[in-house]
């Protein structure tokens, strides 16, 4: 079999056809499946099989197609799809960890990931250490031979700091820990996570995989052993499985994810460059901008700069709000990876819960906005951003 390129995989992999040979994947919108005999039902409960289906909380054909396509894209053996990105993070961590285990995580985390790691896991007796994600010495001293799991967001939200995945994976593996990455900001299009050493790769499919702001979803990619023996038993009994209808939307979206993310990343780089010297902007952060302090790592670790830009305005909360309110095309919203450009003020929304010290540590101040670049013409977006800056 010829080695397929990522675009071809994203269009074809995982497709299974019914007896009607439909071209577009079928939606198996069914809760359960009819057994031919009682013996078959008994056998399936005794020995679950990937290609036989009993109940959609366990497995479903449309969901299975999405899982196999994601595993093919990420170059992992298997995948499990979940109802949301957080169901994926929760499922991956809670299925593997137990009381007495030790987890090390980077401190710059998405709010809900932080809640799971800081609030929930300790309730169940899991020990937690946080490190400065870009400080390899900190990783080296915090990961011990007792560490079971290392958890990172490969690019931090919203300040776009990049974790050196190859280096952190090397430290973790040397000490026997499993590396779980939340890879949302890198996107499946620009990711090399499995080749850099990540053992488990998680996406909120709500973001670039849907990419058109419609449905929630998530996915955990990993070895067959991890997915079938660790994740599946936990997920099928705790209920975070993906709806077949949403799996179908995500399958359709994967067909265009390369076109979308590449266009959005090209536009993001153009926007970052065109605003770099603007007098009302203090700092602009984008992984593929030469001024990013980790530019060479970004180039080594991702095949594109991603679709999100962090912009720090000169001024206070009032002027930043007025900049957001003046935008005509770009919408104020918390989502990202949408075909529509969206802008967020992290300090008062996604990261509002954090203490002043945590915000300061993460570089989240009143002037900072996070721009998720969409599929509009980049010229229109630049005009919109500039007119709003002028009006401030
Ligand atoms: C959005 C997001 C999640 C959560 O995804 P949902 O689908 O909203 O549950 C987790 N991690 C990161 C980095 C995200 O951006």
CATH number at residue 219: 3.40.640.10
CA distances from 197 to 9, 158, 163, 179, 353 (A): 21, 24, 12, 8, 33
* Cross-strand partners of 308: 372
**Do 53 and 188 belong together in one domain?**
yes
Domain total in the chain: 2
Please report the sign of the dihedral spanned by the C-alpha atoms of residue 37, residue 67, residue 181, residue 157. negative
Task: State if residue 210 touches ligand 1 by the CB under 6 angstroms criterion.
Answer: no
CB atoms near residue 45 (< 10 Å): 12
pLDDT digits (tens, 9 = 90+) for 324-356: 999 999 999 999 999 999 999 999 998 888 889
**pLDDT at residue 1 in the model:** 66
169 CB less than 6 Å from ligand 1?
no
In a domain, 52, yes or no: yes
Half-sphere CA count of 196, side-chain side, radius 13 A: 23
Ligand 1 midpoint to CA 182 (Å): 8
Identify whether 97 is part of a domain. yes
Ranges of the chain whose pLDDT falls below 50: none
**DSSP labels, 23-74:** SSPP----SB---SSHHHHHHHHHS--TT--SBTTT--HHHHHHHHHHHHHH
Regarding whether 282 and 240 lie in a shared domain, the answer is no
Provide the token pair at 348: 């008062």
Backbone angles phi, psi at 92, to 5 degrees: -65, -40
**Domain end (from 254, 284, 300):** 254
Ligand 1 pocket, 56 CB below 6 A? Answer: no
299 and 231 assigned to the same domain = no
Residue 282: give its domain's CATH number.
Answer: 3.90.1150.10
Does 172 lie in the same domain as 78? yes
Percent of the chain past pLDDT 70, that is, above it, reads: 100
Give the torsion sign (CA, 201, 77, 230, 218): positive
Based on the fold, state whether residues 161 and 65 are members of the same structural domain.
Answer: yes
Q: Domain check: are 247 and 268 in the same one?
A: no
Residue 1 maps to a domain: no
Instruction: Please name the residue that has the structure tokens 């899991």.
Output: 126
CB of 206 shorter than 6 A to ligand 1: yes
Co-location of 356 and 279 in the same domain: yes
Residue 234 lies in a domain: yes
Q: Are residues 249 and 264 in the same domain?
A: no
pLDDT in tens, 25-50: 999 999 999 999 999 999 998 888 87
C-alpha 184 to ligand 1 mean position (Å): 7
| Domain shared by 272 and 249, yes or no | no
CA torsion sign for 96, 100, 101, 103 is positive
Structural domain includes residue 302? yes
> Does the pTM exceed 0.85?
yes
Q: Give a yes or no: residue 98 inside a domain.
A: yes
**pLDDT given at position 52:** 86
State residue 111's pLDDT score.
86
**Domain final position from 254, 278, 303:** 254
Residue nearest to atom 15 of ligand 1 (CA): 184
237: in domain: yes
pLDDT of residue 2: 80
Q: Point out the domain boundary residue: 213, 231, 254.
A: 254
Ligand 1 atom 8 nearest Cα: 85
For residue 332, the cross-strand partners are 343
pLDDT confidence of residue 41:
92
The residue range of the domain holding 50 is 6-254
Kindly tell me the number of DSSP H helices and DSSP E strands found in the chain.
18, 12
197/301 same-domain check = no
Question: What confidence score (pLDDT) does residue 48 get?
Answer: 83
- In sequence order, the β-bridge partners of residue 176 are none
Q: Say if residue 299 is in the same domain as residue 194.
A: no
Q: What is the C-alpha separation between 193 and 196, in angstroms, rounded?
A: 5
Q: Indicate whether 241 and 265 sit together in one domain.
A: no
């Amino acid at each position: 079999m010829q080695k397929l390129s990522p675009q071809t995989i994203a269009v074809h992999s995982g497709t299974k056809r019914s007896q009607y040979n439909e071209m577009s994947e079928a939606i198996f919108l069914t809760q359960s499946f009819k057994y031919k005999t009682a013996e078959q039902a008994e056998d399936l409960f005794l020995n679950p099989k990937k290609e036989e289906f009993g109940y959609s909380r366990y497995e479903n054909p449309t969901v299975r197609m999405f899982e196999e396509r994601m595993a093919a894209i990420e170059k992992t053996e298997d995948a499990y799809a979940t109802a949301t990105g957080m169901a994926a993070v929760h499922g991956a961590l809670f299925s593997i960890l137990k009381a007495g285990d030790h987890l090390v995580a980077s401190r710059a985390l998405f709010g809900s990931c932080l809640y799971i790691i800081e609030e929930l896991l300790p309730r169940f007796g899991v020990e937690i250490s946080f490190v400065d994600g870009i400080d390899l010495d900190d990783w080296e001293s915090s990961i011990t031979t007792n560490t079971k799991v290392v958890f990172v967001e490969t690019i931090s939200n919203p300040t776009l700091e990049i974790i050196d995945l190859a280096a952190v994976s090397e430290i973790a593996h040397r000490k026997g820990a499993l590396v779980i990455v939340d890879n949302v900001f890198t996107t499946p299009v620009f990711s090399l996570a499995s080749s850099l050493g990540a053992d488990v790769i998680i996406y909120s499919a709500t973001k670039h995989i849907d990419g058109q702001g419609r449905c929630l979803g998530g996915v955990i990619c990993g070895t067959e052993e991890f997915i079938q023996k660790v994740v599946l038993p936990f997920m099928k009994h705790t209920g975070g499985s993906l709806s077949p209808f949403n799996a179908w939307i995500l399958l359709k979206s994967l067909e265009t994810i390369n076109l979308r993310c590449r266009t959005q990343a090209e536009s993001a780089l153009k926007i970052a460059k065109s605003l770099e010297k603007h007098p009302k902007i203090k700092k602009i952060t984008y992984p593929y901008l030469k001024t990013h302090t980790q530019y060479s790592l970004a180039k080594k670790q991702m095949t594109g700069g991603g679709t999100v830009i962090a912009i720090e305005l000169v001024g206070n909360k009032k002027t930043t709000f007025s900049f957001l309110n003046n935008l005509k095309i770009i919408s104020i919203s918390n989502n990202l990876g949408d075909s529509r450009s969206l802008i967020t003020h992290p300090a008062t929304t996604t990261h509002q819960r954090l203490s002043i010290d945590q915000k300061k540590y993460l570089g989240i101040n009143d002037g900072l906005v996070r721009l998720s670049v969409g599929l509009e013409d980049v010229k229109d977006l630049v005009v919109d951003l500039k007119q709003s800056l002028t009006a401030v």
